[in-house]
Amino acid sequence: MPTIILDFFRAVWRGPFGPIGLVILGLCLALAIFGPAIAPYDPVARNYDAAGKLLRLAPPSWQHWLGTTLLGRDVLSQMLVGARPALLVGGLTALGTVVIGVNIGLIAGYFGGRIDSFLMRLTDMFLGLPFLPFIIIVLSLTGRSLTTMVIAMTLVMWRSTARVVRAQVLSLREMPFVAAAHITGASDLAIIYREIAPNIMPIALVSIAFALAWAIITEASIGFLGFGDPSVVSWGSIVYDAYASQMMYRAPWWVVPPGIAIMVLVSAVYFVGRAYEQVVNPRLRTG
Amino acid sequence: MVGYLLHRFWHMVLTLFAMATLMFFLFRLLPGDPTATVISPSLYPKAQEAMRQQFGLDRPLFEQYLLYLRNLCVLDFGFSFQTNRPVFEMIQGRLLNTILLILPSMLAAYLLGAIIGAVAAWRRGGTTEVGLVFTATALQSAPLFWLGMLAILLFSIKLDLFPIGHIVTPGAFPEQDWRMYLSADFLHHLALPFLVNTLYQLCFPLLLMRSTMLSTIGEDYIELARMKGLSERRVLFGHAARNALLPLATTLPMILGWAVAGSVVIETVFSWPGLGLLMIEAISRADYPVAQAAFLLIAVLTVLGTFIADLLYGLLDPRIVYA
């Protein structure tokens, strides 16, 4: 396991975009951990000026670098706090997606036959499920929380990973080392998880990256549509507050930063994912 | 071929059936009174009781489920809590609005994406390629709702070129009939969401076109074209691009289906009265019959997209054999 992580960094470090992505990801991770600690204000507290007047839609100033919201809340503090839900929801969803997707792909691809056609039919069914509408329905019926969001997103996202992994397993299954394992009397489970699974890891890592990117954008979109956890300040919910207040077009400082933050974070994930994919998937290597 | 088609079609029907079932049980898992999703809680208790009997909600769950399936088959989605009109009537026009926004925009995105992607592959290794890949990745990473808001901020508010939202100027077409769709006013309202959606959606075909073309460069037929002494441009646009178009085209229906599912976002930003916005509005007003029907219709479009993608894949690539 550690070698694959090491290989991962070595591979990503080669391209021009990979290192940039890694550095940005590292910064965002630090923000997710320390953001709430370094936020200058309470992100949901109302701020008043020296005369005791509420700072409604105050433009950026030395006190409030990114200005304030309609309710006089500090935008910079909200931005710093908002990194955590983005990475938490994104990370957990990506992890869940890959765990389910890899296992289903491994089992379907290895056993083939009825098991395969049943699992693939299931996958196709999920492939037809409208992504965002489904998550919104689930959230509105079961309550808006980060946990429900992660579960609902994982439920729809494993489908693509399962397909990719299965295709890979189908060709790995015919390899001599699998036949050799059979002859030594290894059980099916042992072959799947000891012989085949390690060869799937690179693809699993690529899929984690793409799932992460997709999950972060989806988390933001859900927040923007007003279905996020009401007690959590996220980058998406900042935009939602601005949108719902109808004041967004009078206060660009309120709307522009969260979008840029999401864009930079997701781009970084894509850069890392694609740089690694270049190395892992020989078809993408250009001569 | 016909056998395969039937097989896939049957598969699609099964998928839709499973989704309808999922929705039935999901909406009845609600905390509180399960009938609250079918009968408006705002009605008088006596009226509620009467409706419960009328809709068969006092019967066992399984019987209700059969009734629900039967109603779906005859496109009876019940009545809206909000307007008391049949849900089906409310949905029809919304479906057309969504298609008018999404379909032309996706076709434009694929066309432009393929062209720009081919250019990126042609200029491989140069700053043009790096710039294009970088821009496409950044655009793809930006949340669509945010791009829409920026576009409104810039083009509607600052430059006053386009209206802020809606499908036509409110009150301009009180009858909301077909004449509305032929007006310049409609096109004027369509322009900005169309542009934003196209710009956002063209990133995927662009990057796919580029990487597929680059991966064909090592193939024999490209080598042959080079040996014939064709210019680099002829080799790439005449041979590599034509072959790369195939995998690109097969992704279109599926991505189209996903774009319909994602239309909730763009419709919300631009107050575009389509299916997605209808669903969001219905949910926030607890108008469950409408929300459920809107969702199912979006699901039909998404599943249809996957179905067509599968067929197209087989049709366009003769190497695929139908088993």
pLDDT for B267: 93
Whether residue A283 is predicted with pLDDT greater than 60 in this model: the reply is no
Structure tokens at B170: 């409110």
DSSP string, A75-106: HHHHHHHHHHHHHHHHHHHHHHHHHHHHHHHH
**B46 pLDDT above the threshold of 80:** no
pLDDT of A100 strictly over 90:
yes
Is residue B196 within 8 Å of B272, Cβ to Cβ?
A: no
Taking CB atoms and an 8 Å limit, are A125 and B18 in contact across chains?
Answer: yes
* B192 or A167, greater pLDDT: B192
Q: Are A287 and B217 in contact (CB under 8 A)?
A: yes
Give tens-digit pLDDT for B84-98.
788 888 888 888 889
In this predicted structure, the answer to whether residue B120 has a pLDDT above a threshold of 70 is yes
Q: Decide if A256 touches B, using CB distance below 8 A.
A: yes
CA A100-A103-A104 angle, to 5 degrees, is: 80
Give per-residue pLDDT as tens, A3-21. 777 777 877 777 778 888 8
Rounded distance between C-alpha atoms, residue A1 and residue A202, angstroms: 11
Q: Which CATH superfamily is domain A2-47+66-284 in?
A: MetI-like (1.10.3720.10)
Name the band, by pLDDT with cuts 50, 70 and 90, for residue A286: very low
Distance between CA atoms of B153 and A249, rounded to whole angstroms? 6
Q: How many whole angstroms separate alpha carbon A69 and alpha carbon A46? A: 9
Torsion of CA A188, A189, A193, A199, to 10 degrees: 20
Mutation site, A79, A120, A122, A132, interface B, largest B CB count within 10 A: A132
Interacting residues of B313 by C-beta distance below 8 A, sequence separation 6+: B250, B320
> What domains lie within chain B, and their CATH numbers?
16-73 (no CATH), 87-316 (1.10.3720.10)
CA proximity to A58, closest of A44, A74, A42? A74
How does the average pLDDT of chain A come out, rounded? 83
Q: CB neighbours (10 Å) of residue A110?
A: 22
Does the pLDDT at position A115 exceed 70?
Answer: yes
The answer to whether A223 and A237 are in contact (CB under 8 A) is: yes
pLDDT above 90 as % of chain A: 8
B141, A128: Cβ pair inside 8 Å? Answer: no
Task: Spell out the domain ranges in chain A.
Answer: 2-47+66-284
Please answer whether residues A281 and A28 qualify as being in contact, where contact means their C-beta atoms are separated by less than 8 angstroms: no
Q: What pLDDT digit, counting tens, does each position of A256-277 carry?
A: 888 899 999 999 988 888 888 8
Q: Residues B268, B272, B275, B277: is their CA dihedral positive or negative?
A: positive
Given a contact cutoff of 8 angstroms between Cβ atoms, the answer to whether A109 and A173 are in contact is yes
Three-state DSSP at A74 gives strand
Task: Give the whole-angstrom CA distance, residue A159 versus residue A171.
Answer: 19
Residue of B nearest to A249 (CA): B153
**What's the token pair of residue B257?**
């289906």
What pLDDT score does A139 carry?
87
**CA torsion sign, B124 to B129 to B134 to B137?**
negative
Mean predicted confidence (pLDDT) in B225-243: 80
Which chain A residue lies closest to B208 (C-alpha atoms)?
A284
pLDDT digits (tens, 9 = 90+) for B150-207: 898 888 888 888 888 778 777 777 766 777 777 777 888 888 999 999 999 999 999 8
* Mean pLDDT for the stretch of residues B208-224: 80
What are the tens digits of pLDDT across the range A68-80?
A: 877 778 888 888 8
Q: Residues of A numbered 216-235 whose beta carbons fall under 8 angstroms of chain B's beta carbons: which are they?
A: 217, 220-221, 224-226
- Asked if B121 has any chain A CB less than 8 Å from its own CB, the reply is no
A56 is written with which tokens? 């409604």
Query: What 8-state DSSP symbol labels residue B282?
Result: H
